[in-house]
Amino acid sequence: MSALFEIHNLAKLNWDTGEGASKYIFAGVSAEIAGPERIALIGASGQGKSTLLRILALLDAPDEGDLLVNGTSYKNMNVRQWRMAVSYVAQQSVMLPGSVEDNLRTVSRLHGNAYDSKLAEQLLQQLGLDYLDLGKTAADCSGGEKQRISLIRSLLLRPRILLLDEITASLDINSTQKVESLLTDWHLKEGTLLIWVTHDLEQAHRISNRAWVIGNGELQEHSSDTLFAEPAAVLAKKFIQSVKGTR
Ligand SMILES: Nc1ncnc2c1ncn2[C@@H]1O[C@H](COP(=O)(O)OP(=O)(O)OP(=O)(O)O)[C@@H](O)[C@H]1O
Ligand SMILES: [Mg+2]
């Protein structure tokens, strides 16, 4: 049986070609994920975490390598099919024109599925957004509201693979806990693979069973229990040191 998700020798060229710049942002990135897991993607700023997730969602093109979902390469799938399976929740949430409800309905409109208003309502409630007027212009929502709306927009698609880019960065502790517990439940119930970028090492430990560390143009894999057994301060120092002198 094919793995749920495979990454083979993925590379992205660096557009910064100045002296001292490396040729690639990252290269030789490979991973095989047999089934639904919870992966924390961590690394210092500017190491390519968002770029990697954007490539995995085909929002940006890889320069080398291959990506496969359930054994099928992205080269043999159209982008729409790919994005039904692999959904990216952006670091900077972008609201589409129209109301909150228009935004939530976008996914079903794009993919020709029925809009599951019951699920939308349930997710809004679980994320503490039940007070929100669905007729409100989405662009007028706060940063934290927009982040949760984008997350719900992606969940309504029920993707096999969910790519989460610092999605709790604008949220208070209470809302952050709601997002974490919703996604942990969702992962269990729906069997969704989560790849979650965060700078919060305690959050990374809470939400993952496996960790990917990106730095110096490489991706390393660890078990979360081993990696996060080190105190957060020691770990953070290591990241900073590993990045020094290479960029
Ligand atoms: N072809 C390219 N595509 C995308 N980014 C590129 C490219 N070439 C160079 N870059 C640079 O690579 C860096 C990678 O940025 P990216 O947003 O992926 O980092 P990040 O790890 O997500 O950082 P942060 O933690 O601050 O969000 C940026 O400095 C970007 O300008
Ligand atoms: Mg980023």
* CA Rg value for the chain: 18
Which range of residues forms the domain containing residue 178?
A: 5-243
Q: What are the tokens at 13?
A: 């060229």
Place of tokens 């919703």: 182
Quote the pLDDT of residue 78.
Answer: 93
Which ligand has an atom closest to residue 22 CA?
Answer: 1
Q: Does the beta carbon of 54 sit less than 6 angstroms from any atom of ligand 1?
A: no
Q: Which atom of ligand 1 is nearest to the CA of 44?
A: 25
Number of structural domains the chain divides into? 1
Length of the chain: 247
> How would you classify residue 3: left for phi > 0, otherwise alpha for psi between -120 and 50, otherwise beta?
beta
Q: How far apart are CA 117 and CA 221, in angstroms?
A: 39
Predicted confidence pLDDT, tens digits, the chain (247 residues):
799 999 999 999 999 888 888 899 999 999 999 989 999 999 999 999 999 999 999 999 999 999 999 999 999 999 999 999 999 999 888 899 999 999 999 988 888 889 999 999 999 999 999 999 999 999 999 999 999 999 999 999 999 999 999 999 989 999 999 999 999 999 999 999 999 999 999 999 999 999 999 999 999 999 988 888 877 777 777 766 665 544 4
List the one residue out of 1, 2, 61, 67 whose CA is nearest residue 31: 67
Terminal-to-terminal C-alpha distance of the chain:
41
**DSSP classification of residue 66:** E
Instruction: Work out the widest C-alpha separation in the chain, in whole angstroms.
Output: 55
Q: Does the beta carbon of 45 sit less than 6 angstroms from any atom of ligand 1?
A: yes
| CATH number, domain with residue 33 | 3.40.50.300
Cα(58) to ligand 2 centroid in Å equals 16
CA distances (Å), origin 8, targets 27, 56, 65, 127: 10, 11, 5, 36
* Alpha carbons within 13 A on the beta-carbon side of 217: 16
Cα(221) to ligand 1 centroid in Å equals 20
